[in-house]
Amino acid sequence: MTAPAHDPDCVFCKIAAGQIPSKKVYEDEEILAFHDIAPWAPVHFLLIPKAHIPSFAQIGPEHAALMGRIMTLAPRLALEQGCRPYPEGGFRVVVNTGADGGQEVHHLHVHVMGGPRPWARG
């Protein structure tokens, strides 16, 4: 049985569906990027697949194109959102996965954090 594409109890599914507002950074048919509600850094946004994938642990070969698109969007959006250019600037990409990985929201998301230091956290 395949996992449902939308989990009605999932906060990021609700954001993807527009049921909870977010400050959008980017959107296409399968991907949404939006600002983190509790930013660690001057730039802090999340990239998510619109489909409900619980975590990075569920990623397999069938997700190669989707993950490739998410990872190629990250540097472009980082610059657009105000991260300074590499190498003086740059950004941090984090995918918390599972309890030991510190994951709190169980809908796959890629954190992109950057901007001048010091940061609020991290």
Q: List the catalytic residues.
A: 109
Q: Is residue 37 near ligand 5GP by the rule CB under 6 A?
A: yes
Number of residues that make up the chain: 122
Q: Is residue 81 near ligand 5GP by the rule CB under 6 A?
A: no
Q: Please enumerate in sequence order all residues whose Cβ is within 8 A of that of 12, keeping only pairs 6 or more positions apart, or say none.
A: 46, 48, 52, 105, 107, 109
Here the tokens at position 2 are: 């395949």
Q: Is residue 79 near ligand 5GP by the rule CB under 6 A?
A: no
The single residue among 32, 45, 47, 52 that binds Zn ion, judged by CB under 5 A, is 52
Q: Strands across the sheet with 24-27, in order? A: 24-27, 31-35, 43-49, 110-114, 91-94
For residue 70, give the 3-state DSSP assignment. Answer: helix
Q: How far is the CB of 87 from ligand 5GP (least distance, A)?
A: 26
What does the per-residue mask of binding to Zn ion show for 97-116, with x meaning CB under 5 A? ----------x---------
Q: Is residue 13 near Zn ion by the rule CB under 5 A?
A: yes
SS (H, E, C) 75-94: HHHHHHCCCCCCCCCCEEEE
Chain contacts with ligand 5GP (rule: CB under 6 A): 11, 20, 22, 34-38, 96, 102-105
Q: Which residues bind Zn ion (CB under 5 A)?
A: 7, 10, 12-13, 52, 107
